[in-house]
Amino acid sequence: MCWSAQADAVAGGLVAVAGVVCLVRAHRAGRPERLPLAALPLVLGVHQLIEALVWLGTDGGLPDDLAEAARTAWAVVALPLLPVLVPAAVWCATSGPRRRVLAALTLLGAAVAVPLAVAVGSHPVAATVHGHTLGYAVGAPHPALLLAGYLLVTVGSLLASGDRLLRRLGLLTGAGAVASALLWRLAFVSTWCALAALTSLLLLHWAGQRQAVGPAPEAGRAR
């Protein structure tokens, strides 16, 4: 996600701290339904800290068993966990008829996560240095189809939330995915560090809002 073990460690620590603050703000705002989504920066921060270990493993700085465990842990978070966590967390934080769409996206996310989990569990996770980025391989079947479903459930759930900040986060995530893919092809630095940081800042602001996510009640309803 970042360009070195040191960068991942620093960025991951900062994002993880922001995640803890997000959880505190959501709790103080009296919105427990926001806690799953408020935990996302903490998950992203821990994910970056894990990748710092992956970097060390590629340099021979870790025992083989620990390096393999780090690669597997990175893949578990990135592949089967996030396509379920993101739409499910948005579903928890959303009210009204949009919940039906988000429930469908959560089920689709679970369908995407199953073959990814099987691939991670049945194949060793490979990580190779590609310029200033890391490339991962898990041997998942139909990667293009799974990637399309992955982006649909993660980006799509944010766009379908009905909340202005979450829609902005969805647009940012989609643009970040495209930018990261292009920069990875050029063997340039990864943009995921910056994306995780921006995600944390947006969710930090969102978690402290006191109004519920979703359409406001109708004003002046006839009695």
Q: CA angle 73-180-80, nearest 5°?
A: 30
Mean pLDDT of 189-215: 75
What is the biggest distance separating any 2 CA atoms in the chain, rounded to whole angstroms?
72
CB atoms within 10 A of CB 93: 26
Return the structure tokens found at 149. Answer: 């479903």
C-beta separation of 26 from 42 below 8 A: no
> Helix, strand or coil for residue 49?
helix
Confidence of residue 215 (pLDDT cuts 50, 70, 90): very low
Name which of 80, 90, 118, 68 is nearest 203 in CA terms. Answer: 90
pLDDT greater than 80 at residue 123:
yes
Strand partners for 133: 130
pLDDT greater than 80 at residue 15:
yes
Tell me, yes or no, whether 222 lies in a domain: no
Tell me, yes or no, whether 44 lies in a domain: yes
Tell me, yes or no, whether 220 lies in a domain: no
Tell me, yes or no, whether 215 lies in a domain: no
Tell me, yes or no, whether 218 lies in a domain: no
Contacts of residue 82, defined as CB under 8 A and 6 or more positions apart, other chains included, come to 43, 150, 154
pLDDT greater than 50 at residue 94:
yes
Q: What percent of the chain has pLDDT over 70?
A: 87
Residue with tokens 């992955």: 150
pLDDT reported for residue 40: 96
pLDDT digits (tens, 9 = 90+) for 178-194: 777 665 554 444 556 77
pLDDT reported for residue 135: 83
Tell me, yes or no, whether 212 lies in a domain: no
pLDDT reported for residue 163: 94
Query: What residue type is 115 in one-letter code?
Result: P
Contacts of residue 147, defined as CB under 8 A and 6 or more positions apart, other chains included, come to none
Write down the pTM of the prediction. Answer: 0.88
Confidence of residue 211 (pLDDT cuts 50, 70, 90): low
Mean pLDDT of 34-47: 96
Mean pLDDT of 110-137: 90
Return the structure tokens found at 73. Answer: 């842990």
Q: How many helices (H) and strands (E) does the chain have?
A: 9, 2
Tell me, yes or no, whether 81 lies in a domain: yes
Confidence of residue 209 (pLDDT cuts 50, 70, 90): confident
Query: What residue type is 23 in one-letter code?
Result: L
Confidence of residue 217 (pLDDT cuts 50, 70, 90): very low
What string of DSSP letters covers 124-165? PPEEEEETTEEEEE---SSHHHHHHHHHHHHHHHHHTT--HH
pLDDT reported for residue 88: 98
Domain that holds residue 44: 5-207
Percentages helix, strand, coil for the chain, rounded to the nearest 5?
A: 70, 5, 25
pLDDT reported for residue 181: 66
pLDDT greater than 50 at residue 126:
yes
Tell me, yes or no, whether 214 lies in a domain: no
pLDDT greater than 70 at residue 90:
yes
C-beta separation of 208 from 202 below 8 A: no
pLDDT reported for residue 93: 95
Number of domains in the chain: 1
User: In angstroms, rounded to a whole number, what is the distance separating the alpha carbons of residues 187 and 195?
Assistant: 18
Mean pLDDT of 193-218: 74
